[in-house]
Amino acid sequence: MTSPFRFGINMLAPPDRSAWAAQCRTAESIGFDVLLVPDHLGMPAPFPSLVAAAEATERPRVGTFVLNAGLWNPALLAREVATTDRLTGGRLELGLGAGYVKAEHDEAGLPFGTPGERVDALARLVTELERLLNDPAREPAPAQSPLPLLLGGNGDRLLRLAARHARIAAFTAARQVPGAAPGTLGLIAPEALAERLAVYREFEAGRVRPAELNLLVQKVEITGDRRAAAERLAELGPGLSVDQLLDHPGLLLGTAAQIAEQLRAHRERFGFSYFTVLSPDMRAFAPVLEELGGH
């Protein structure tokens, strides 16, 4: 059975209320299903941004994409999550990740740790949040029970964690670029992404309800020359050939009709039905949503 499409937009909140509300309403009018905000120091706080997004709109769900586990205390985060879910009328989707920017942890005075230690911290956070948010005696309680959980990453341990706990398994299809500054990510090959998905499906075997699969789209470009666009965007995938870039679900290049067909093909090949677009590409994606109609 083919899963229906959903499309999220990962947005940076403007500095004032009216501009943020206008941006959220624009995303809703274009047809996005989920309004998402990232979690980085130096950017607006996610939960107040989501409450304001929900107040400005009627239809879309709202979510974090994604919280950095090492920056959050479980009990305090549970309070934030429950309150936000109630204030948004049960529209919250909670996205969590292990974190990848050491400078942010340094600025916050919190340990960054090794990749394994960061996944350990995420696993503890997930376990504690499930206990706290599902405790009927605890206040405040979220409007949704259970609250939808998205877990993002590509490593084996994180994929196993997502297979056990997440309603949505999110893939970045990117990795740290060797020799580049920490936090600099580059696209992995489509073949490597397919391998990661195969590993995830092994971990997920036996689940009554498979998770929804999400992919972060790095770039959307409406163009009549896909190859020229891929050549110009080669820096997004160091070491990948132009053909690999053209075949990559994290790059959506072409006419609106071509991109709509690419999305259908990526859903068939990889299983992705939930795609997250970055806010600079919000308007570029509008004709694609029109082409897909009701998705």
Q: Are the C-beta atoms of 259 and 7 separated by less than 8 Å?
A: no
Whole-angstrom distance, CA of residue 79 vs CA of residue 84: 8
pLDDT category, 281, cuts 50, 70, 90? very high
Whole-angstrom distance, CA of residue 236 vs CA of residue 262: 19
Helix (H) / strand (E) containing 55: helix 46-56
Each residue's pLDDT tens digit, 133-184: 999 999 999 999 999 999 988 999 999 999 999 999 999 898 888 888 776 7
Percent of the chain scoring above 70 in pLDDT: 99
The pLDDT score that the predictor gives to residue 284 is 98
pLDDT category, 294, cuts 50, 70, 90? low
- Classify residue 12 as exposed, middle or buried by CB count within 10 Å of its CB (0-12, 13-18, 19+): middle
- pTM confidence score: 0.96
CATH number of 6-221+271-282: 3.20.20.30
